[in-house]
Amino acid sequence: MKVFYHIRKIALVALLLGGAFISLELSADEFTEKELQGWTSEYLTVVKEGRQHFTSPTLGTNSVACAQCHPNAANTHPETYPKFQKQLGKVITIAEMINWCIANPLEGKRLSVDGQKMTSLITYITDERRGVKLDPGKH
Amino acid sequence: MQRRDFLKTTGTLAAGAMIPMSLVEIAFGKGNEAQNFTFAFISDSHIQQIKGAKFVRNWDKGLERAVAECNLLNPRPDFVMYGGDIAQLGKASEIDHGLELLSASKNELKYMLGEHDYYLDLGEHWSKRLGEHYYSFDHKGVHFVVLNSILTDEKWVNKWSSGEERMGVMAGLDNPQGSPFMVGYKQRQWLAKDLGKVDHDTPVVVFSHSPLQKIYKGWNFWTDDAELIQAILKPFKKVNVIYGHVHQIQYNQIGNITFHSVMATAWPWPYPSTYAKAKQYLPKLTVEMNRADPFFERDATGWQFIDVHSGNIDLSYVLPNNENRVVGFNTKTRRPEDRKYQDVQKPPQKHY
């Protein structure tokens, strides 16, 4: 660890000498601001995309949108999944619950669980619950 | 009056316990029985056109059921108040379809505007079918006022490229591009004048679509000039405000004014407290409903029997998949209280 620290310190000095900007906070394997901004931006793009699907009248077939019943994704409580969904009689993930909503109130076709649409919906829903502690299995 | 007395026969009792709508009884206490009367309240049906003659089945069913149940009431209500948002996107086809479903009512209907009826054509088609956006009437000793509380500032109204765009934005409850509701200067002047001729001992019932109190601005559980309206209502001894829009049970007491919300026939809304980022002010008095179960489509939709005794009101909520609730005026504490749950410390099925 100590050796690594020294290598990093040397690298940092080299970067500074090279005129590059870098945070002086010392910790191992630090990301650059640019990297962090890039990743956040990718994430927020998907949050936005998820919100678009969540408010879209064409996610299902009957023009009903998720947000009609769940303003700001309220009462979707993604932090409680996976959990025993008593109405289905088994433990499910939030993706399965989203698909239930799409198939029933929205009268639509279930999404592929690892597809971009589902990923974006989960990303949006979870982002609206930022700060709420994980509590899987809770009812 | 017991709730069961409103239902005509034992055969309809079971059905009655499952169907969403509201009945209001106005009474003036013992010695003045002749004046007692009832009315019902149906609200927020959000009839939504899919295409052509196809409408969202779930919302149609909610309204059909409320009307059917209302027709079973005994004694017959003197009238049925409709609390606004017949339509989802303000389309003539949606308003017309909603009115067709309501035409099955055997009782006289009175109407109030909601934002979903208004922001497509600024209430033009609604007016053509139903008349004035705000008005008052007297009924058996009670002064009723129907307000249009879903107006907003002119600048916002005129900034959109089309009525469709404007309606689309206002229809999204959580759309950050929306605008806060208000009654507005012109209507406040009218209200002051209208109430100017009413004796301060006369019970007043005010209907508004949005709450005339501030609960959560982000979802327009809010009316911007609420305090100004409350001030106009202040001289009256018994004032009841009944509002729609929120799709959930809320009640409150502010000075002389008792507030009650009514249920939607279409779908329930979560309490603002379930939105982790919201700064909200649900009245502390309100005992929240349980979280709705999406697997039962009428769950947490409903209607109320509203019993106005001595100028104050009791609401009996009929909730298809929840235990029915009664929120009544407690003459000792001078506030509305849930008859069963107000002082129960047991936590409900939590929203989280």
**Residue A63: its chain B contacts at CB < 8 A?**
48-50, 56
pLDDT for res B67: 93
For A119, other C-beta atoms within 10 Å of its C-beta total 17
Report the chain A residue with the minimal C-alpha distance to residue B348: A139
Q: In angstroms, rounded to a whole number, what is the distance separating the alpha carbons of residues B348 and B287?
A: 9
Domain segments of chain B: what residues? 3-338
Instruction: Report the gap between the CA of B198 and the closest CA in chain A (Å).
Output: 40
pLDDT at residue B184 tops 70? yes
Task: With CB atoms and an 8 Å threshold, state whether B276 touches A132.
Answer: yes
pLDDT given at position B269: 96
Task: Specify the pLDDT at position B5.
Answer: 43
Radius of gyration of chain B (CA): 19
Q: What's the pLDDT at B156?
A: 98
Read off the pTM.
0.87
Predicted confidence at residue B4, as pLDDT, reads 38
The β-bridge partners of A90 are A85
How high is the pLDDT of residue B352?
65
What does the pLDDT read at residue B70?
86
Best mutation target, B45, B55, B56, B91, to test chain A (most A CBs within 10 A) = B56
- Interface check A22 vs B, CB under 8 A: no
Q: What is the pLDDT of residues B203-257, one digit of tens each?
A: 999 999 999 999 999 999 999 999 999 999 999 999 999 999 999 999 999 999 9
DSSP codes, A74-98: TT--GGG-SEEETTTTEEE-HHHHH
Residues sharing a CB contact under 8 Å with residue B177, sequence separation 6 or more, in sequence order = B169
Residue B309, pLDDT score? 65
Q: Which of B212, B215, B350 is nearest to B280 (CA)?
A: B215
Interface probe, candidates B44, B295, B350, chain A, greatest A C-beta count within 10 A: B295
All residue ranges of chain A with pLDDT < 50 are: 1-21
Higher pLDDT, A79 or B326: A79
Residue A92 at interface with chain B, using a CB cutoff of 8 Å: no
Which of the four pLDDT bands, split at 50, 70 and 90, describes residue B10? Answer: very low
pLDDT at residue B32 greater than cutoff 80: no
In this model, does residue B98 exceed pLDDT 70? yes
In angstroms, what separates the C-alpha of A72 from chain B's closest C-alpha?
Answer: 6
pLDDT digits over B127-177, tens only? 999 999 999 999 989 999 999 999 999 999 999 999 999 999 999 999 999
Q: Which fold has domain B3-338?
A: Purple Acid Phosphatase; chain A, domain 2 (3.60.21)
* Partners of residue B276 in chain A, C-beta under 8 Å: 128-132
H/E stretch holding A13: helix A2-17
Q: Is the pLDDT of residue B77 over 60?
A: yes
pLDDT (mean) for B17-21:
45
Q: Measured between alpha carbons, how far is B68 from B185 in angstroms, rounded to an integer?
A: 39
Q: Give the end-to-end CA distance of chain A in Å, rounded to a whole number.
A: 44
> How large is the greatest C-alpha to C-alpha distance in chain A, in angstroms?
63
Tokens representing residue B248 in the block: 């959930």
Taking an 8 Å cut-off on Cβ atoms, the answer to whether B174 and A77 are in contact is: no
Instruction: Give B64: exposed, middle or buried? Use CB within 10 Å, 0-12, 13-18, 19+.
Output: middle
Q: In 10 A of CB A88, how many CB atoms?
A: 12
| CATH entry 1.10.760.10 includes domain A59-139 | yes
Tokens of B77: 């209500």
Long-range Cβ contacts of A26-29 (<8 Å, 24+ apart): A28/A1, A28/A4
Confidence grade of residue B9 (pLDDT, cut at 50, 70, 90): very low
Q: Burial code of B293-307, b = ≥16 C-beta within 10 A, e = fewer?
A: ebeebbbbbbbbbbb
Helix (H) or strand (E) holding B257: strand B257-261
Nearest to B105 by CA among B129, B57, B72: B72
* CB-nearest partner of A80 from B57, B174, B352: B352
% of chain B at pLDDT higher than 90: 68
- Residue B34 confidence (pLDDT) above 60: no
What is the per-residue pLDDT for A2? 44
